[in-house]
């Protein structure tokens, strides 16, 4: 079946347009009465062929990239893996779990509560349906999107600082300056160009009636959208959690921008310090920021700390391998030691603990088995603030543990460098930007049919079937939109930022 589809695609969709353009007349030629008629026919045929080919190319472009790859594998290069590709995969999986979270909160919100807690006895909750297995610890990570945001920030800190820290350790300060300058120049473009496009699309959905809340005129809606874009780009409230119109999930984007800038400043300021001093200074700044309630800054700088620890370990391994190779050139294979196995066990235990913390419920943590012990020891000022803030320092700690564990354990790296994880890595930003609009467009239209199919919401099993049924049904437009947005908007925005930097920078002598 797949071979037949490939054959059909190759016949109707040539790699290049097949139209044959020829001169209608040649110099010094004598025209005849039949020449204009045949020329017009040739022009019409060429135009029709060109339009047909362009239409087929456009329709093929609309197909998700993984289907394109199956139909025409020769057009796609094998994806190259880099030393930090596992972090890209982790970010992709985390983006998917954020989608599940927002789908759950908007459609099957019972799962945000803890397993086995009698909310009817605690606060008079009218819902007395038994808990679902999906609410059990570890299983609920499937839709625990809130801790995933913290993982995003630690990954961003790691990735943004990885190359500069390599240059710092090599004492290549000239290259460091170039790298930091490039990062500062392109960071805003990388974050805000795709969000401008996605929110503009939401504005169109609102004006055409696919999403509610339309203003009386298009121009009123347009100016309201421009104000919303301004609020998204205004990044100097640091790590404030705010409601942003046109896509409330974009509250993380200004946080990404402001803390990226602070990360670059911190790297620059500590770049000339000795390693034995740079790490303690960095850790001290992290603790200071957390004490000041700047949890996102703690996570960004924590990503840089993890990155430098990894670089130190890489340097030590290279030195040990070189020493062993020189002393025994015929036996250069480094075998795992008891210490390395113990280290893997330690970091896997950290990963498991972080997954347990990720099950922190949206409400009722005071009555959640196990987790309620962490409430009274929550550090200040988060404990005094209370509410959702209780979870923030624990999510920050868990995010650090997850990224650290992935760096130290080869098994976890293999999990996040699989084909599926790397595909999610490619579309991760687009998935984050598009899942909200797609849920707004389709969830309230499709979920009533899902509930009808399972027989209503009265019963634990019916809710469980509705959860997975809705996930499957709504996942189709979300993945399709994310894949298309990635190729049509996200990738061109990255290329545009690089192009703009090239034409703006001063070439060094």
Please check the confidence at residue 18 and state whether its pLDDT lies above 50.
Answer: no
For residue 357, what are its two tokens?
Answer: 């913390």
Per-residue model confidence (pLDDT) at position 68: 86
Please check the confidence at residue 240 and state whether its pLDDT lies above 70.
Answer: yes
Q: How far apart are the first and last CA of the chain?
A: 58
Per-residue model confidence (pLDDT) at position 390: 94
Quote the Cα angle for 278-279-282, to 5°: 85
Q: Mapping DSSP to helix (H, G, I), strand (E, B) and coil, where does residue 310 land?
A: helix
* Residue 405 near residue 412 (C-beta atoms within 8 A): yes
Please check the confidence at residue 74 and state whether its pLDDT lies above 80.
Answer: no
DSSP annotation string for 152-176: HHHHHHHHHHHHHHHHHHTT-HHHH
Per-residue model confidence (pLDDT) at position 158: 97
The percent of residues above 70 in pLDDT, for the chain, comes to 87
Rounded Cα distance, 283 and 364, in Å: 33
Dump pLDDT digits (tens) for 25-38: 334 444 444 456 66
Dump pLDDT digits (tens) for 407-437: 999 999 999 999 999 999 999 999 999 999 9
Rounded Cα distance, 128 and 190, in Å: 47
Break the chain down into helix, strand, coil percent, rounded to 5.
Answer: 75, 0, 25
Residues 6+ apart with CB under 8 A from 350: 401, 404, 405
Comparing 120 with 321, which gets the higher pLDDT?
Answer: 321
Per-residue model confidence (pLDDT) at position 441: 96
The band of 339, judged by pLDDT with boundaries at 50, 70 and 90, is confident
Per-residue model confidence (pLDDT) at position 109: 87
Exposure pattern of 323-341 as b/e (b: 16+ CB <10 Å)?
A: eeeeeeeeeeeeeeeeeee
Q: What is the residue-averaged pLDDT of the chain?
A: 87
- Interval 286-296 mean pLDDT: 95
Environment class of 298 (CB within 10 Å of its CB; exposed 0-12, middle 13-18, buried 19+): buried
Rounded Cα distance, 90 and 422, in Å: 9
pTM higher than 0.75? yes
Residues 6+ apart with CB under 8 A from 376: 383
Rounded Cα distance, 146 and 137, in Å: 15
């Amino acid at each position: 079946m797949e071979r037949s589809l490939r054959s059909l695609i190759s016949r109707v969709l040539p790699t290049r347009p097949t139209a044959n353009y020829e001169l209608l007349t040649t110099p010094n030629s004598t025209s005849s009465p039949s020449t204009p008629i045949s020329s017009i026919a040739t022009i019409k045929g060429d135009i029709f062929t060109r339009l047909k080919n362009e239409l087929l190319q456009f329709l093929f472009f609309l197909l998700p990239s993984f289907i394109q790859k199956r139909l025409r594998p020769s057009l796609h290069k094998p994806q190259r893996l880099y030393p930090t590709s596992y972090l890209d995969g982790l970010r992709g999986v985390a983006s998917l779990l954020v989608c599940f979270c927002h789908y759950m909160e908007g459609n099957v919100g019972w799962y945000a509560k803890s397993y086995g807690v009698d909310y009817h006895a605690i606060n008079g909750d009218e819902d007395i349906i038994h808990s679902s297995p999906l609410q059990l610890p570890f299983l609920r990570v499937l839709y625990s999107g809130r801790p995933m945001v913290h993982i995003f920030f630690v990954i961003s800190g790691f990735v943004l600082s990885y190359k500069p820290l390599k240059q710092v350790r090599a004492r290549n300060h000239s290259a460091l300056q170039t790298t930091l300058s490039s990062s500062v120049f392109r960071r805003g473009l990388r974050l805000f160009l795709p969000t401008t496009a996605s929110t503009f699309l939401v504005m169109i959905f609102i004006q055409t009636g696919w999403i509610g809340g339309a203003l009386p005129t298009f121009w009123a809606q347009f100016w309201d959208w421009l104000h919303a874009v301004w609020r998204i780009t205004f990044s100097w409230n640091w790590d404030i959690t705010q409601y942003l119109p046109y896509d409330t999930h974009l509250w993380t984007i200004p946080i990404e921008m402001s803390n990226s800038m602070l990360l670059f400043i911190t790297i620059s300021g500590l770049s000339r310090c000795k390693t034995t001093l740079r790490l303690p200074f960095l850790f001290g700044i992290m603790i200071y920021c957390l004490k000041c309630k700047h949890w996102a800054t703690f996570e960004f700088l924590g990503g840089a700390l993890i990155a430098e620890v990894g670089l130190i370990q890489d340097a030590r391994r290279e030195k040990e391998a070189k020493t062993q190779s020189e002393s025994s050139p015929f036996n250069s294979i480094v075998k795992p030691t008891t210490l390395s196995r113990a280290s893997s066990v330690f970091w896997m235990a950290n990963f498991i603990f972080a997954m347990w913390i990720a099950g922190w419920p949206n409400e009722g943590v005071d009555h959640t088995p196990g987790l309620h012990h962490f409430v009274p020891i929550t550090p200040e000022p988060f404990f005094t603030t209370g509410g959702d803030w209780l979870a923030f320092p624990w999510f920050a700690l868990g995010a650090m543990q997850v990224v650290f564990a992935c760096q130290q354990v080869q098994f976890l790296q293999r999990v996040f460098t699989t084909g599926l994880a790397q595909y999610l890595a490619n579309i991760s930003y687009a998935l984050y930007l598009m899942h909200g609009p797609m849920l707004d467009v389709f969830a309230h239209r499709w979920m009533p049919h899902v509930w009808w199919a399972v027989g209503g919401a009265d019963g634990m099993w019916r809710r469980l079937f509705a959860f997975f049924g809705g996930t499957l049904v709504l996942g189709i437009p979300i993945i399709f939109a994310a894949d298309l947005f990635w190729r049509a908007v996200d990738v061109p925005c990255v290329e545009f930022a690089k192009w703009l930097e090239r034409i703006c920078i001063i070439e060094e002598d």
